[in-house]
């Protein structure tokens, strides 16, 4: 019985427990959420413009907001998502 305690104690001394941490920092998660919000806003900008009457054509579906501005905002959101995933904060320990 005493041998088991000694083995467990030796294992703890040889292999100390690693500090568990998240894959991303707080800033990464904030950038991810910001990117999702920007993408959502871009899709909202592209929504709408249809006509209630199917026999009537509404040229509003080809407006600048729906064809150009909305997709650019979505693209910016996707770029922000990539930056949020790739960003690595500088470590506090300097050698």
Quick one: average pLDDT of 3-13? 61
Contact present, 83 and 32 (Cβ < 8 Å) = no
Q: Which one, of 25, 3, 13, 2, lies nearest residue 84 by Cα? A: 25
pLDDT of residue 81: 97
Condensed to tens digits (0 to 9), the pLDDT of residues 29-78 reads 999 999 999 999 999 999 987 777 888 888 888 899 999 999 999 999 99
**pLDDT confidence tier of residue 92, bands split at 50, 70 and 90:** low
Q: Give the phi and the psi of residue 93 in degrees, each rounded to 5.
A: -85, 120
Residue 10 has pLDDT above 60, yes or no: no
CA distance 84 to 95: 26
């Amino acid at each position: 019985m005493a041998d088991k305690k000694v083995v467990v104690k030796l294992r703890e001394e040889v292999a100390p427990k690693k500090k568990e941490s998240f894959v991303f920092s707080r800033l990464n998660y904030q950038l991810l959420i910001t990117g999702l919000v920007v993408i959502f806003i871009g899709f909202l900008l592209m929504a709408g413009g249809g006509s209630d009457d199917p026999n009537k054509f509404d040229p509003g579906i080809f407006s600048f907001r729906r064809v150009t501005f909305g997709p650019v905002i979505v693209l910016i959101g996707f770029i922000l998502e990539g930056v949020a995933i790739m960003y690595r904060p500088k470590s506090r320990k300097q050698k």
